[in-house]
């Protein structure tokens, strides 16, 4: 496949991800070894599996309020604080979708800020579950994330019935944050073509579980 990115460059977009609830510490060790071998930017795991050591050059991310987002803000903040204390580099939190779908974006902002304040030195990505929102709600969720001090907005958990990332949602999110925040596309990205389309639409990070298959579509 012809592309402007090399395999190594594409790998540096990737959060190599394992979020199956049955994942064991042994599974995580395999994930970390794979992530390092593939040259991924980070590995992303569940918070019950930290603390864990990762090699130099590989970041460690965990999820928060995952996958439903239907947790009290105080619970998300406590989970984030626990992860930060365990030494993670990044946190991917899920917003409360009910608040977003009913237009209560001041409360969405407040819960993101609670997580931000609980883990002030950790890069914060906010999962808005874009496939479950209207365009107007996507814009408002991104704006709330920026006001609350997030570093990234992220499309999806990959667990919601409405689906994962789309080029349209990524482009809308990128336009809304205007380069001030990063944009992570996640959910349903299983081949190189889709990954490159997400980057072309404005994604600055990709959440992948099948990282090797995506990278194998590019010449080294």
State the pTM of this model: 0.97
Asked which of 1-10, 16-25, 166-175, 184-193 is least confident by mean pLDDT, the reply is 1-10
Residue from 15, 92, 125, 151 carrying the catalytic annotation: 92
Catalytic residue list contains 184:
yes
pLDDT given for residue 11 in this prediction: 98
Catalytic residue list contains 8:
no
Please list, in sequence order, all residues whose beta carbon lies within 8 angstroms of the beta carbon of residue 3, skipping any fewer than 6 positions away.
Answer: 10, 192, 196, 218
pLDDT digits (tens, 9 = 90+) for 122-179: 999 999 999 999 999 999 999 999 999 999 999 999 999 999 999 999 999 999 999 9
Residue from 15, 76, 151, 154 carrying the catalytic annotation: 154
Catalytic residue list contains 175:
no
pLDDT given for residue 4 in this prediction: 87
| CATH fourth-level superfamily of 7-215 | Aldolase class I (3.20.20.70)
Q: Enumerate the domain spans of the chain.
A: 7-215
Residue 80 pLDDT more than 80? yes
DSSP alpha helices (H): ranges in the chain? Answer: 7-11, 25-38, 73-85, 97-101, 105-118, 135-147, 167-177, 192-201, 211-215
pLDDT given for residue 3 in this prediction: 61
Closest CA to 139 of 186, 105, 163, 96: 105
Task: Report percent pLDDT > 90 for the chain.
Answer: 97
């Amino acid at each position: 496949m012809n592309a402007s990115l090399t395999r190594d460059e594409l790998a540096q977009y990737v959060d190599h991800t394992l979020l199956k609830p049955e994942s064991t510490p042994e599974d995580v060790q395999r994930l970390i070894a794979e992530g390092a071998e593939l040259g991924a930017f980070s590995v992303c795991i569940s918070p019950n599996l930290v603390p864990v050591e990762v090699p130099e050059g590989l970041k460690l991310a965990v999820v928060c309020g995952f996958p439903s987002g239907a947790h009290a803000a105080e619970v998300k903040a406590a989970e984030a604080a626990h992860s930060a204390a365990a030494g993670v580099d990044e946190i991917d939190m899920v917003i409360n979708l009910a608040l977003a779908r009913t237009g209560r974006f001041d409360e969405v902002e407040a819960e993101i800020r609670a997580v931000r304040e609980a883990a002030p030195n950790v890069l914060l990505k906010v999962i808005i579950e874009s496939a479950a929102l209207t365009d107007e709600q996507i814009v408002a969720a991104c704006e709330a994330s920026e006001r609350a001090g997030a570093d990234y907005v992220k499309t999806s958990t990959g667990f919601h019935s409405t689906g994962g990332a789309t080029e349209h949602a990524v482009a809308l999110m990128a336009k809304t944050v205007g380069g001030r925040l990063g944009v992570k596309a996640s959910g349903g990205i299983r081949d190189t073509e889709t990954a490159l389309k997400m980057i072309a639409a404005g994604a600055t990070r990709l959440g992948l579980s099948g990282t090797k298959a995506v990278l194998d579509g590019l010449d080294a």
